[in-house]
Amino acid sequence: MDILETRQLLERLASLLRTEARNLLFQHGLQPIQFEALHYLSICNRYSDTLMGVTDYLGQTKGSVSQTLKVLEKKGLIEKTPDKTDKRVAHMLVTKAGYNLVENILPSSLLERANKQLSKKDAASIETSLRSLLKSMQHANNFKTFGQCATCIHNIKLSSGGHVCGLTKEALSGEDIELICREHEPNNSC
């Protein structure tokens, strides 16, 4: 892979998507980074919807993420809720208005239109390559993978058909295993 060329391509793609999102978000008075935090919170599990979870995901400082979350809370898109067992921890729960906003903005219509112009084979190959690149970059820098719970090495499938998290020993519902998690460790057999 030509590193310079690949970087330029990724930057260009990101810039097109950012511009599209910026135009849509302008109507809601939100910055792209604030929407990224909201989107993350809408797809992460209960172990990941904290200030630290968002900080790790966005790769920003705790201070700036804290400001971002305050904006989302003020706009009624998330609600800060104390953890049931550890009162020092607060969960950032996405409100109905927050989910509605995410559904209005995503998926990107620009990407949808581009996807229609690609063959099924090309589209699938792009997705596989991007996933593989992301995985390698996360691995190269010891970044957390934030993968889907169903593909985690700690996800234990019970003979009853249910699932349990090997780290927290808590039961995982069908919905839980679809969400992403900051404690995720890839199960390479998935």
Q: Which positions lie near ligand SF4, rule CB under 6 A?
A: 45, 47, 149, 152, 154-155, 165, 167, 181, 183-184
| CB closer to ligand SF4, 69 vs 181 | 181
How far apart, in Å, are the Cα atoms of 87 and each of 45, 90, 181? 18, 7, 21
Q: Starting at the edge strand that comes first in sequence, how are the strands of the sheet with 155-157 ordered?
A: 155-157, 163-165, 171-172
What gap in Å lies between CA 38 and CA 22, rounded to an integer? Answer: 14
In which residue are the tokens 């630290």 written?
52
Find the DSSP H helices in the chain. Answer: 3-26, 32-43, 51-58, 62-74, 96-105, 109-117, 120-140
Q: What is the largest CA-CA distance in the chain?
A: 51
In which residue are the tokens 């593909």 written?
151
The count of other CB atoms within 10 Å of the CB of residue 151 is: 17
| CB closer to ligand SF4, 68 vs 148 | 148
| CB closer to ligand SF4, 77 vs 176 | 176
| CB closer to ligand SF4, 60 vs 151 | 151
The angle formed by the CA atoms of residues 3, 148 and 138, to the nearest 5 degrees, is 25
| CB closer to ligand SF4, 34 vs 45 | 45
